[in-house]
């Protein structure tokens, strides 16, 4: 029983963080509940679709019920600068950011952590479905980020940009539980959030469609939708050579497989118009509003400079499927610093490029310019700006922003 350690819990007004606070109190920690207000620009959202006031009230009621101190902290200026502005800049450049991963790295385990430390907290805790482990390497404690026990809710991918310092201060008290068990505990403790529905996505967007949100700064601009044929000669270079181990690929082959494709209008034919290439992302199917194509139409490339969208017909179009991706040197992040690859070395792990995606075997090849990630199975819809994360079993080892 630990009676001295102080923990600040990010109380969001949801069931997961509520149970997090309850469990920590039961374990003997001194618990403080803190609600983060991350967004309040009424001009870009519909206020009743972003119930932060209701969430704040629920968080306060939970703190009252558990007899723990409670305070709210307004982080909206930092959130605007570090998350929202970044999102707009990335979409404007034709890339696909992941605000959830950034929010954890930049807000919850940076700005919020610093606010907690001003309250002399030893740890911050969140209601994430993941687990923290420890081991000793060369006499030093190394922190491990492990998948949550509930495979359907595992959120380790969203925390794949955390570092050792952040992990050393983080607690994830519900990571070993199933969601059903968390709800059961909340009901038994008569917490107001016990039956509350899980929030979907980022509150500030609410139920507003992402293009509508982006239109606040990125204005609509008519452009061409081009369909690209399957037999484009450059697709032949993107295939993985048969019978050759990825470690033996030459530089030209690695670049051909891992670097993003760039299209131009005369490679295909126009089949429609769109309202702005920056509203679309690779792999997207909805929102194109082009009918009569037979097979479903997918975005396989965007060009925000000339304002064209490039599409392919069907889920097996070679422009939609890729065996590799590249992470520039400055964007490679190791959670496990002790497992960092040096240029000229390789490793095999499992990887994913989106939340809740099944892990797929990958080969990592580190070069002077960055990391080449080669998948055993072709991946659908690899988009620049997304994050790739690699795992050893249930442990997240590192991650990077896709070029």
Helices (H), 215-274: 251-258
Distance CA 148, CA 145 (A): 9
Instruction: Count Cβ atoms below 10 Å from residue 294 Cβ, excluding itself.
Output: 7
Q: How many CB atoms lie within 10 A of CB 152?
A: 9
d(CA 266, CA 276): 19
H or E segment to which residue 273 belongs: strand 269-274
d(C-alpha 259, C-alpha 249), whole Å: 14
Helix crossing, 179-188 with 15-26: angle to 10°? 70
Write out the catalytic residue numbers.
103, 203
Nearest Cα residue to 50 out of 197, 198, 206: 206
Degrees (nearest 5) of the Cα angle 123, 13, 174?
50
Q: Among all chains, which residue has been given the structure tokens 């920690």?
A: 29
Angle of helix 52-65 versus helix 15-26 axis, rounded to 10: 20
| 3-state secondary structure (DSSP) of residue 191 | coil
Quick one: CA dihedral 325, 330, 336, 341, positive or negative? positive
């Amino acid at each position: 029983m630990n009676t001295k350690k102080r923990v600040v819990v990010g109380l969001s007004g949801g069931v997961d963080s509520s149970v997090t606070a309850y469990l920590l109190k039961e374990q003997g920690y001194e618990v403080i509940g803190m609600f983060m207000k991350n967004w309040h620009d009424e001009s870009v959202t519909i206020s009743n679709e972003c119930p932060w006031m209701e969430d704040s009230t629920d968080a306060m009621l939970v703190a009252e019920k558990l007899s723990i101190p409670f305070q709210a902290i307004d982080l909206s200026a930092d959130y605007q600068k570090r998350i929202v502005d970044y999102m707009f800049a990335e979409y404007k450049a034709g890339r696909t950011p992941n605000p959830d991963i950034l929010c954890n790295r930049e807000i919850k385990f940076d700005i919020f952590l610093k606010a907690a430390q001003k309250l002399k907290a030893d740890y911050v805790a969140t209601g994430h479905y993941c687990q923290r482990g420890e081991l000793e390497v060369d006499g030093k404690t190394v922190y491990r980020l492990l998948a949550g026990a509930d495979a359907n809710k595992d959120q380790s991918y969203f925390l794949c940009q955390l570092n050792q310092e952040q992990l050393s201060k983080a607690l994830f008290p519900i990571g070993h539980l199933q969601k059903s068990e968390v709800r059961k505990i909340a009901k038994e403790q008569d917490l107001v959030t016990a039956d509350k529905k899980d929030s979907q996505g980022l509150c500030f967007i609410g139920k507003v469609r992402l293009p509508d949100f982006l239109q606040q700064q990125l204005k609509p601009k008519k452009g061409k939708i081009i369909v690209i044929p399957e037999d484009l000669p450059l697709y032949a270079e993107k295939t993985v050579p048969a019978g050759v181990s990825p470690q033996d690929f030459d530089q030209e082959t690695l670049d051909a497989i891992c670097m993003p494709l760039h299209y131009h209008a005369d490679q295909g034919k126009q089949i429609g118009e769109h309202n702005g290439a920056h509203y679309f992302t690779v792999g997207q199917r909805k929102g194109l509003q082009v009918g009569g194509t037979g097979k479903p139409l997918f975005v396989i490339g965007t060009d925000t400079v000339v304002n064209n969208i490039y599409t392919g017909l069907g889920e097996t179009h070679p422009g939609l499927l890729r065996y590799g991706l590249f992470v520039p040197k400055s964007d490679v992040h190791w959670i496990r610093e002790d497992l960092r690859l040096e240029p000229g070395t390789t490793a095999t792990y499992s990887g994913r490029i989106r939340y809740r995606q099944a892990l797929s075997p990958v080969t990592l090849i580190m070069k002077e310019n960055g990391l080449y990630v080669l998948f055993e199975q072709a991946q659908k819809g690899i988009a620049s700006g997304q994050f790739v994360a690699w795992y050893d079993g249930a442990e997240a080892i590192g991650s990077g922003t896709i070029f």
